[in-house]
Amino acid sequence: MTDQPDVQSHGPGAPAPRRWWRRASYAPLTVLGVASVAALIAGASVSARLDQHPVPVPAEQSDSTDEVCRPAMEPATQEPWLEGDGSAERVWQENAAEVAQPYLVGPNGWIFWSDYIEQYASQAVGRDTLSESELNRWVDYYSSIRDGLAAEGVDFQIIVTPSTSSIYPEQLPTWMQELRGSTILDQFMAVEGDLPVIDLRASLIAEKTSDVNLFSWSNSHWTDFGGYVGWKQIARCVNAMNPEDPAMRVPAISGYEVVGDFNEWASFGVSSPGADWAVPRFSEPMQDVTFTDKDGITKTVPGDSVMDASWLPLQTTVAEPWTGKSALIIRDSMGGAISPYWGQAYSPTWQVGHDYTDFSAWPNYRDLVAQHSPDVVVLQLAERHLINTPPAGAAY
């Protein structure tokens, strides 16, 4: 995830916009959905919660869809970029030399991208936001895909995998923590309406502990253990959306182990705080998976194997998929940590990469569906890509 996208200009150079997304009003699926959306509107500045290490539980089907798929986030306690007096921008400029580097280092050694990658730092604090028309273009685009797929009898899921800064905001540089307000993902979740979006932030925050990292302090991705925690919510959500289908499963684990230090910033000469890449230790067998990668090489591997983005496009098969369905999975490198569960849930899967930094290279859903005839289409999208809005009229 080191591609450098086209730079977009948002927010800071213009007058601070009103928090217009608070006016959003859509018919919720349930009464609990109303409370969820109302809380999401305000934003996503949270404090760390160091809970007891979670015990794996089976995926559930009885919860409200909104409550399970889009649980409420803590409201932002401040909006320095939307309602401030300009002092936030002055502080930002005082730290401009730090932001000009490719990376930023927090007080405890956690490393983050700066604005070098998709305005990451500006997105992390809410300095970059989207206009109402830009947000509406995202909603129109995804609504068109959802409706086009539905017309062909194909289910659709949108999994937004969060940035590290959304789950561990307390690890950002101290001066940035003091400037953090609502983010682009907060905006999107406030206006997404009835799209089949899975927002993983609240559940990941709730399951943070002091002894294991769900996201790595030296890598911009979640750890494999973080992916497992995310999968628990994905499985519950998909089961709630499709209660008549065979259930998604959450494989039982006996714990986790730390397997190494995968320092994404080593080439910049940045030191890592140490090994923290945690992986789940499965206590029940998973089916072997046969996959064919982009080079046409076919292998059979253990079911807990991660399918790396560098192997895309690829196809996987198992003997008895949990759902009995096939899936077209459009993903980026954040999909690696949840790829073992996709491989167990669906067969075949066709996993293809996307480039949501360049609209000319965005996936053509209609052509891909015509090619593979899947039962389900899954889009896994890293949070930071939301800054790259589709052009007006983009559709299925």
> Does 6 reside within a domain?
no
Find the helix or strand (DSSP H, E) in which 329 lies: strand 325-331
pLDDT single digits (tens) 316-344? 999 999 999 999 999 999 999 999 999 99
Question: Are residues 382 and 388 in contact, defined by beta-carbon separation less than 8 angstroms?
Answer: no
> Does 2 reside within a domain?
no
> Does 392 reside within a domain?
no
| Of residues 26 and 358, more confidently modeled | 358
The mean pLDDT value of the chain amounts to 87
Confidence of residue 138 (pLDDT cuts 50, 70, 90): very high
Strands 289-292 and 314-317: antiparallel
Q: What is the mean pLDDT of residues 179-206?
A: 96
Q: What is the mean pLDDT of residues 24-53?
A: 32
> Helix, strand or coil for residue 217?
coil
> Does 171 reside within a domain?
yes
Q: What is the mean pLDDT of residues 81-90?
A: 92
The reported pLDDT for the residue numbered 75 is 82
Joined together, the tokens standing for residue 4 give: 């450098």
Which of the given ranges, 55-64, 80-89, 371-380, has the highest pLDDT on average? 371-380
- The residue range of the domain holding 244 is 20-387
Does the pLDDT value for residue 49 go beyond 60?
no
- Return d(Cα 377, Cα 368) in angstroms, integer: 10
Does the pLDDT value for residue 106 go beyond 50?
yes
- Return d(Cα 347, Cα 390) in angstroms, integer: 31
> Does 393 reside within a domain?
no
* Domains identified in the chain, total number: 1
Confidence of residue 60 (pLDDT cuts 50, 70, 90): very low
Confidence of residue 19 (pLDDT cuts 50, 70, 90): low
Does the pLDDT value for residue 79 go beyond 50?
yes
- Cβ burial of 131 (10 Å; 0-12, 13-18, 19+) is middle
Q: What is the mean pLDDT of residues 254-280?
A: 98
Question: Virtual CA dihedral for 257, 262, 265, 271, nearest 10 degrees?
Answer: 60
> Does 295 reside within a domain?
yes
> Does 242 reside within a domain?
yes
Q: Residue 373: beta bridge partners?
A: none
> Does 1 reside within a domain?
no
The reported pLDDT for the residue numbered 12 is 32
Q: What is the mean pLDDT of residues 128-133?
A: 96
Closest CA to 336 of 390, 277, 265, 273: 277
| Of residues 89 and 16, more confidently modeled | 89
The reported pLDDT for the residue numbered 63 is 52
Question: Are residues 73 and 46 in contact, defined by beta-carbon separation less than 8 angstroms?
Answer: yes
Confidence of residue 64 (pLDDT cuts 50, 70, 90): confident
